[in-house]
Structure 1
């Protein structure tokens, strides 16, 4: 069933790709679609609000795709220039043998950024404590759901046996569904998780990423044609991103939060700072845009373990580190 759902997704993406052609941009505007809006992507927002993109003559038009599948559809349809989402979407399209499929040219995060949220505090939590419960996992084939399932299995929890993973709720609807009473647990990204707890609606229990280990969780992608037709724009994007990555690495949570705060209107800066510190503590932020092949293979281990695909995709088919490496070499 999981493979059938993914195949249906690929068919829809392919149809979208036939309707539009990639184009170059000479006005410095990049249409960037992100999988969700979260402090998990702090370096991106620092690059925007800290003026790093502006220094490169780049204007970012940011939109929330609400899931990796929607981001990929926007890329293939020519409605977005760059996507920020899990590399799994690129793997699925590449596995179908499509020409000019989107590739990863920079990594942003290296761990799952979600946190397990429950209805009651669990100060001495162990993953095995979830036995017999229902957990909202998100969309089948999405990295959040697959990482959660992988982590559960590493701790003796198997969907349909001693735990129930609810795959029937879209990623951007998980919080609302949980608040409405669905499930015993769910996962949320920051600052949503902290805001949820502060509102007295639930409790942040554990980090999924800390339990699941390193993997290229979120990356910047674009079609090869867009990259080839806009080399200076891509280089400028990477320079701004690298400067922002360094800023996040070198500064504490409150300093970073004060820079990116305009991206989260209505959220207290202290909440943002706390969320950033959480991510720094679990080493979630990439300090370099270069993706490690061993981490990519770990991601494919998770995907195969979830039963979504059988065969691996070559690292070089989906990831091109050469662009970011060339930019790094010139900056150093």
Structure 2
């Protein structure tokens, strides 16, 4: 009898311990435990200001996400990180989804949020020019971006559009070393993103001559991308991520100059608030961040035409069904409640 009572008591204690542990566990999850998203950005640039705002202003955390960010230094590397599983989401050129799809591998990538609607690079000159025409590049050397990258293709397509042929575009300098190569004497012109472009201009090392975004026009340069598998398995994460970034873009349109500079400064150490604001305003003025972050069929057609024009995609390999590499359902749900 005593053994039976002892056994019953032990079972009761064990049950209470299990219930207590379960309650504590539930309480821990409800108290704000965040889902970590491994995120890879293509380069560090104010071109991607809405993303940094979403981080600094806590918009990702409001959605229950912790964004673990690294800088890939190239869309090719950002796409490779997705395929390898070292990144969950990458901010890269949408052309990477087409490249991967046409490789017919085990994994495919999909765009779920279109962050930028224009190219974000600017052309700078070594010498001060009274006026600039694209023909001024004839016979000159331009330090540009790697072959097949969005800024390289936009520059090349702009040169084709302007009828300028004999330009030596250097494409084998790693992006972090481009500004240093220019200031050390290489090249007559250089193609840079903000805030590096304005930093060189302010330092008297270069002169602003043109915006590639304005020169070429509408172009879907940079998108948030994930593998099809990750999107299928984590739709809530993708929705929350897209919503947080959209909130960051909207915030930029209403925040004060001081608020914007304060939000972005931690991501651009050594860059003055004046240059940060100048960079943001330059991107705003050319319509960089669309109100609705959607990759449309027209934009996708423009993208594929540029790829064909630059010889990185055969006409017969163009993707007929955009839905094979694009899923805008999350963008369509931004701001809507169930």
TM-score where L is the length of structure 2:
0.86
**1:239-258 Cα distance to aligned partner (Å, 9 max, x none):** 21121111123346554222
**1:83-134 Cα distance to aligned partner (Å, 9 max, x none):** 0011111111112223431110001111100000110122421112111111
TM-superposed CA distance for 1:328, in Å, is: 4.0
2:208 matches 1:204: yes
Uncovered stretches (5+) of structure 2, i.e. residues with no partner: 1-32
Checking the alignment, whether the CA contact within 8 Å between 2:231 and 2:238 is kept in structure 1 is yes
Query: Could you say which structure has the larger radius of gyration?
Result: 2
TM-superposed CA distance for 1:236, in Å, is: 1.3
Q: Could you tell me how far apart the structure 2 residues matched to 1:289 and 1:241 are? A: 9
- Cα gap change, 1:131 to 1:307, in 2 (>3 Å): same
- Cα gap change, 1:275 to 1:254, in 2 (>3 Å): farther
Q: Could you tell me how far apart the structure 1 residues matched to 2:148 and 2:245 are? A: 28
Equivalent residue number for residue 37 of structure 1:
44
Equivalent residue number for residue 127 of structure 1:
134
Equivalent residue number for residue 22 of structure 1:
none
Equivalent residue number for residue 83 of structure 2:
76
TM-superposed CA distance for 1:212, in Å, is: 0.8
In structure 2, the residue corresponding to 1:139 is in which secondary structure? coil
In structure 2, the residue corresponding to 1:327 is in which secondary structure? coil
Q: Could you tell me how far apart the structure 1 residues matched to 2:88 and 2:171 are? A: 29
Q: Could you tell me how far apart the structure 1 residues matched to 2:174 and 2:153 are? A: 14
**1:37-87 Cα distance to aligned partner (Å, 9 max, x none):** 010001000100011011112111110100111111111111111000111
Uncovered stretches (5+) of structure 1, i.e. residues with no partner: 1-25
Equivalent residue number for residue 311 of structure 2:
307
Checking the alignment, whether the CA contact within 8 Å between 2:34 and 2:61 is kept in structure 1 is no
What is the number of residues matched between the two proteins?
303
**CA RMSD of superposed structures (Å):** 1.6
TM-score where L is the length of structure 1:
0.87
Match of 1:323 among 316, 324, 330: 330
Equivalent residue number for residue 68 of structure 2:
61
